Amino acid sequence: MPYTPITRLLIANRGEIAVRIIRTAKEMGIYTIAVYSDVDRLSPHVRLADEAHCIGQANPLESYLSIENIIEACQNSNADAVHPGYGFLSENADFARSVINAGIIFIGPQPDTIELMGDKIKAKAQALESGVPCIPGAFINTLDITEAKKSASDIGYPILVKASAGGGGKGMRSVSSEDQLEQQLTRASSEAKAAFGNPSVFIEKELLGPKHIEVQVMADSHGNVHHLLERDCSIQRRHQKVIEEAPAFSLPHELLQKLRNDATQLAKDCGYLGAGTVEFLVENGNHYFLEMNTRLQVEHPVTELVTGIDLVREQINIAMGHPMSFSQEEVTPLGHAIELRVYAEDSKNGFLPSLGKIVHYERPQGNGVRVDDAIHEGMETLPFYDPMLAKLIVHHQDRPKAIERLKNAIEEYQIHGVETTLRFGIWLTKHPEFLAGSYDIKFIDKSFQPDTVPTQDIPPKVLATFAHFFSMKTEDRPQNSRNSTAWQERKIL
């Protein structure tokens, strides 16, 4: 692959990941181009970019999921590269092909690789071919209930019905007995079709208490494939992660080395390029391939903090044709890092989304504290997009000190106007199972008691702000400085 410079980078995403990519690109001297939906006109990623283009309405199908609109923005801005971030079109092979066909560099793996590893059925077949163990299961592409019952009986209940495309817990159903199978199979298939446009599902044995461990991999066009250690992502609600840690701390070194070796071998065998993540479930000393994410992960900051490697910089350099800037031998853990996803959710009410206006916002600061965000006072949480507001990441020399730092940072973090998962984070940092590292993916379901989550003390000055803000007429309420006409004329096209 010849060296091809990137000078104008379009970020096909929004929120904190767009901000994070823009910052690294600017450090590299690259001109940055943001895209936004109409409701994101005043969002931080739009302000920080050198140029910004509206790509449609609030509904993601009309903006961030519109291949046609994003390609048009690329052409109108003369972008020579696209970074997809995560979510939206980041694992869409058709989008990658459209970018490449338009003569633009796609920062990620080749479309064929995205297609192969994005289909869970095909990915599991590739994993088995590469000698990577998989959970016992049956690849069912039909709603033939007779076939499904036979396969489920052979595997043994409980089982999981899962969508072959996509992730995030959508199209996933737990089935404990045969009399539930038909209904759950139908529901999973319907949900998969609605979420991913693909009704295909498969079934596999449900593990009773596994850990979710993922290995960060990176590959360049010079034949190098390295791992950047692993992350423990076992604390989840609704099959979605809330806490991530690096490196994994409660598994034997020999098992971790197997995970790393299997992840790099799979990446080699599927012709991988760029940053990706190979995910495993680990139970009773055994590990099983779960899926491969062909993109940057939400939790990549914990890996950056414990390796000292900027993953976005590496992605961009690899896309330009450079080899990775590090060798496998140079990847050694530097302390311990923990990330808390700060969702606009009410943990006391089943982690349901919390809609409202952020009236007061104050980030924690200090050594070993990082906040990746794209929010500001006066901003409203919207029902169109993922409820994650920010990521709070801490780093220290060992895990106990990192947990203490996390607790202190949460206490300092002030978000008022909407419910968030910060209070859940305080509860977690005091729980004995978390402190011991003995939790698994069912920890929240088994151990979380909503009524024990502490309430957030609201400082008097914030109460005064609340009272004053809500006493004003809507049209008289102060808006964020990004409303200035000069700023709009300079930045938004």
Pair 62, 70: CB distance under 8 Å = no
**Fold topology of 8-107:** Rossmann fold (3.40.50)
**Cα–Cα distance, 348 to 448 (Å, whole number):** 10
Query: Cα–Cα distances in Å, from 137 out to 79, 150, 166, 330, 486?
Result: 44, 12, 18, 38, 59
pLDDT digit string (tens) for 256-294?
Answer: 999 999 999 999 999 999 999 999 999 999 999 999 999
pLDDT digit string (tens) for 164-216?
Answer: 876 667 788 999 999 999 999 999 988 888 777 788 888 999 998 999 999 99
Q: Which of 155, 194, 197, 200 is nearest to 178 (CA)?
A: 155
Q: What is the pTM of this model?
A: 0.89
Answer with the residue of higher pLDDT: 431 or 479. Answer: 431
pLDDT digit string (tens) for 123-173?
Answer: 999 999 999 999 988 766 556 888 889 889 999 999 999 888 766 677 889
- Beta-carbon contacts of 156 under 8 Å, excluding residues fewer than 6 positions away, are 205
**Cα–Cα distance, 310 to 214 (Å, whole number):** 18
- For residue 164, the one-letter residue type is S
Q: Is the peptide bond before 247 cis (omega within 30 degrees of 0)?
A: yes
**What's the token pair of residue 455?**
């309430």
The CATH number of 136-205, from 3.30.1490.20, 3.40.1170.20, 3.40.50.720, 3.40.50.2300, is 3.30.1490.20
CA dihedral over 84, 86, 89, 95, signed as positive or negative: positive
Split at pLDDT 50, 70, 90, the class of 482 is: very low
Give domain limits for the chain. 8-107, 136-205, 211-452
pLDDT at 236 over 70: yes
* 295 is an active site residue: yes
For the domain made up of 211-452, the CATH class stated in words is alpha beta
Q: How many C-alpha atoms does 261 have within 13 Å on its Cβ side?
A: 10
The active-site residue, picked from 173, 231, 237, 295, is 295
Query: With pLDDT > 90 as the criterion, what percentage of the chain qualifies?
Result: 77
* Domain 136-205 shares a fold with domain 211-452: no
**What's the token pair of residue 190?**
């319907």
**Cα–Cα distance, 243 to 337 (Å, whole number):** 11
